[in-house]
Every structure is written in structure tokens, then in C-alpha cells.
């Protein structure tokens, strides 16, 4: 499973990249607005230079022509850019056109298996089911991931399933058990994947025992 970071924060991206387990980044208008960069394109370029993999950058137009114009500009920024396009009618049309132009897309805001099927038929490179937001409204986000994986396996679609709106490590683990291609997660969740209280206690005990041995064997 590929690990993407769901952030536009350069420090978080640098840190995760330094651990050697970062495969890509997803941004969205909310995450970029949080960083409030002076120059958005420059900021995206800097992210692309840190990450050796796909970086999703979202269009904010909602009409076909506007989305295409933004998508082409974003794609020309850096070879790592994947253009995020919302699952709306004009978005589907834009994804199809961009696929024909060889521009990678991530179909975002996907909340049903039907939408995921449409995204794949349009030729999206990635589809992003938002698991946390579905959980928030009392539906199982992970059940949607399972349904999408089943549907895609029947037809051999090349669209990769990018599990998004991840809230905790079990979202990542369950998605990995199902064989989802990618999980994009906040920095906090990536840290949580590494941590375990028994690891901390165990390490503390090993080091204390080692310290004692050195003290007792000192001349
Ligand atoms: C996906 O690419 C989105 O950026 C993101 O996962 C949305 O997550 P949220 O529901 O935590 O805002």
C-alpha cells in the first residue's frame, strides 16, 4: 500500500519524506488555505520537489472549460502533479478529456460505489472515497472501499483506489487488509501508525537494563 500525506504543510511533508515511507501527497483547497501561501503555484512546486511521487492539486472551477484550463496549468507546474477533479457532471467530462490528453487525475469527493464506477469509466487515474466523512454521517466508509475494490476487480479498471478522509490508524489497517492501493492520511495518523505503548515501555526497559549492566560492570 502506498502512503500519501494529506496536507499542504511543508514541514510535515519534509519530516515524513525523511522517514523514507512517503509515496505522495494530496492537497485540497481547505488544506492549502490553512497554509495560506503567498504564491499557491510556488507552494505546490515546493511540495513536488520534496516528494518523489504524485502530488494531488485540486481545481476550484466547477464548469468543464474552467476545470480544463486550471487542470492544464496545474499539470504544467511539475511532472508529479495529479489534478484533483470533483465528482460532478462537468468533472466527469473533464476527467475523460484530461485522460485523453495524458494528464493524471484524482476524482475526489466520492461517496458511493456508483460514483466510483463512473470515475473509472471516465479514466480517472485515482478515485478518492472519503471514508471519515461517511463515518461521520453514520455510514461505513470502509464498506464503500470494499465495494469499489470488488467492482474494479470485475472489470480490470486501472483506476487506483485512494482511501481519503482518514481519521485514525484502523482506517489505514482495514484499507490495507482489503488491498486498497493508496491511503492518504493526516501527519498525526502517520505518526500513530508508528507508535505503540508496548514498544515505548519495552524500549525503556531494554535501555534501563543495558544501563544497569554497564554500571555494574564498570571497574
Ligand atoms: C482527500 O484527498 C482529501 O484531501 C481529504 O482526505 C479530506 O479529508 P477530511 O474529510 O479530513 O477533510
**pLDDT on residue 6:** 98
Task: Give the range among 3-12, 129-138, 206-215 with minimum mean pLDDT.
Answer: 206-215
CA distance 43 to 49: 10
Q: Which three cell numbers stand for residue 29?
A: 483547497
CA distance 53 to 18: 14
Secondary structure of 32-57 in the HEC alphabet?
Answer: HHHHCCCCHHHHHHHHHHHCCCCEEE
CA distance 165 to 143: 14
Q: 10 lies in which domain range?
A: 2-216
Q: What is the rounded average pLDDT of the residues 192-212? A: 96
pLDDT at 48 exceeding the cut of 90: yes
Q: Are 183 and 203 in contact (CB under 8 A)?
A: no
Q: What is the rounded average pLDDT of the residues 111-129? A: 98
202 backbone φψ class: left, alpha, beta (φ>0; ψ -120 to 50)? alpha
Between 53 and 213, where is the model more confident?
A: 53
| Count: domains in the chain | 1
**pLDDT on residue 216:** 62
- Supply the angle between the helices 40-50 and 64-77 in degrees, to the nearest 10: 50
Most ligand 1 atoms within 8 A of CB, residue of 132, 172, 190 to mutate: 132
| Distance in Å, CA 16 to ligand 1 centroid | 18
Q: What is the rounded average pLDDT of the residues 53-58? A: 98
When pLDDT is cut at 50, 70 and 90, the band that residue 84 belongs to is very high
**pLDDT on residue 213:** 85
CB of 29 closer than 6 A to ligand 1?
A: no
Q: 107 - beta bridge partners?
A: 85, 127
pLDDT tens, residue by residue, 60-78: 999 999 999 999 999 999 9
Whole-model pTM?
0.95
**Alpha-carbon torsion angle 134, 140, 146, 149, nearest 10:** -10
CB of 133 closer than 6 A to ligand 1?
A: yes
CA distance 55 to 181: 15
pLDDT at 52 exceeding the cut of 80: yes
Residue 125 has φ and ψ, to the nearest 5°, of: -75, -35
pLDDT at 81 exceeding the cut of 70: yes
pLDDT at 214 exceeding the cut of 90: no
Q: Are 71 and 84 in contact (CB under 8 A)?
A: no
When pLDDT is cut at 50, 70 and 90, the band that residue 215 belongs to is low
**pLDDT on residue 148:** 98
* CATH code, domain with 135: 3.20.20.70
pLDDT at 218 exceeding the cut of 80: no
Radius of gyration for the chain, computed over Cα atoms and rounded to the nearest angstrom = 20
Q: What is the rounded average pLDDT of the residues 25-32? A: 98
Q: Are 68 and 76 in contact (CB under 8 A)?
A: no
| Distance in Å, CA 201 to ligand 1 centroid | 33
Amino acid at each position: 500500500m502506498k502512503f500519501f500525506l494529506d496536507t499542504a504543510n511543508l514541514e510535515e511533508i519534509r519530516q515524513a519524506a525523511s522517514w523514507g515511507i512517503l509515496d505522495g501527497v494530496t492537497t485540497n483547497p481547505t488544506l492549502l488555505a490553512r497554509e495560506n501561501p503567498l504564491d499557491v503555484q510556488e507552494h505546490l512546486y515546493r511540495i513536488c520537489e520534496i516528494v518523489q511521487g504524485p502530488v494531488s492539486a485540486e481545481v476550484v472551477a466547477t464548469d468543464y472549460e474552467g476545470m480544463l484550463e486550471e487542470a492544464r496549468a496545474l499539470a504544467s507546474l511539475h511532472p508529479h502533479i495529479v489534478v484533483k477533479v470533483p465528482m460532478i457532471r462537468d468533472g466527469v467530462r473533464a476527467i475523460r478529456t484530461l485522460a485523453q490528453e495524458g494528464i493524471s487525475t484524482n476524482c475526489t469527493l466520492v461517496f458511493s460505489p456508483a460514483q466510483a464506477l463512473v470515475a473509472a469509466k471516465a479514466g480517472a487515474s485515482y478515485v478518492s472515497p472519503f471514508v471519515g466523512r461517511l463515518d461521520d454521517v453514520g455510514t461505513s466508509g470502509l464498506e464503500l472501499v470494499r465495494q469499489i475494490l470488488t467492482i474494479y476487480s470485475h472489470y480490470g479498471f486501472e483506476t487506483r483506489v485512494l482511501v481519503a478522509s482518514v481519521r485514525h490508524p484502523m482506517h489505514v489497517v482495514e484499507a490495507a487488509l482489503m488491498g486498497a492501493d493508496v491511503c492518504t492520511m493526516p501527519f498525526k495518523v502517520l505518526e500513530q501508525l508508528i507508535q505503540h505503548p508496548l514498544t515505548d515501555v519495552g524500549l525503556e526497559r531494554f535501555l534501563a537494563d543495558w544501563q544497569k549492566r554497564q554500571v555494574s560492570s564498570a571497574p
